[in-house]
Amino acid sequence: MKSWSRREFLQSSTILAGGLLAPSLPAFRAAPKPLRLGGPIFLKSEDPEELAREHRRLQYSSAYIPAVNLTDTVKINAIRNAFAAQNVIIAEVGAWVNMLEQNPEKRNKNLTYVSERLALADAVGALTCVNIGGSFNPKQWDGPDARNLSKEYFDATVENCRKVIDTVKPKKAKFALEMMGWSLPDGSDSYLKFIKAIDRPAFAAHIDIANIINTPGRYYQNTELINETFRKLGRWIVSVHAKDVHGKDVHFAETMPGRGALDYVTYIRQVTALPQETPFLLEHLRTPEEYDEARKFVISKAAEAGVPLA
């Protein structure tokens, strides 16, 4: 029998503990889930059935919520039913306001709006309501500020997320924070800290790899970044944004999928290996033609990865 040194014993115990404590995420499977691609559409219509069919025409099986007010229960029901009939998941309700607005009256107004958006997500059957944590930048609601990486920012964001969730008490929809390069959460480790601190089942993870490419190391080793992010956050992920990033002078610039450096085969494989069906949403493009280019690129990469569309 081998005689174990104290160092060998500690090393083996650490490896075992890490394996037991790490969030479980299945490895790439021979038959992955189909990809639930989605994105904005440009059809000018108020008819939920027409909008749902347009998503299907574009090979989308996930969607951003169409325009509707929380008080319009008839239209909310019509949207939910029409999209379900076409097997299109309503993935995301955006709530893009500054929850850290320094003016108390404006901050309360913003938090009320975020709560209403989460309530709308729950009413329409959407998977998530997403917002950034906010910013202490006095001139730009989502701008950079040194305090956006501080304990003050973290604690205030925890309080805000708890307040929104506890106000709404959603039955199914989750509330999630957008990953950002200049504020928290800026990666999987800071996201895990939020999940632990907020301590609410209705809080989940929203992934945007392009947003956290903020160093040359992450840019050139983005395959490892993708794998690490999904390995650590997999069980909590409810929605994923599909963008890309490229080097520009001494900075990084956002671009459409296919015009940057992200490893899209790995990205798609990780999304479709999650235990839950997870939307993969195009965003931030300007024209139907740009979305067509991005959509076709993602579909081609899904085929390369051996992943069918839903």
The b-or-e profile of 49-84 (16+ CB within 10 A means b, else e) is: eebbbbbeebebbbbbbbebeeeeeebbebbbebbe
Check residue 240 and give its pLDDT: 98
Q: Mean pLDDT in the chain? A: 92
Residues 6+ apart with CB under 8 A from 175: 118, 128, 129, 130, 131, 161, 164, 165, 168, 200, 202, 203, 204
Check residue 29 and give its pLDDT: 47
Identify the band that residue 19 occupies on the pLDDT scale cut at 50, 70 and 90.
Answer: very low
Check residue 8 and give its pLDDT: 39
The arithmetic mean of pLDDT across residues 179-183, rounded, is 96
Identify the band that residue 202 occupies on the pLDDT scale cut at 50, 70 and 90.
Answer: very high
pLDDT at position 41 over 70: yes
The one-letter code for the residue type at 290 is E
The one-letter code for the residue type at 217 is G
Q: Give this prediction's pTM.
A: 0.89
The arithmetic mean of pLDDT across residues 181-190, rounded, is 97
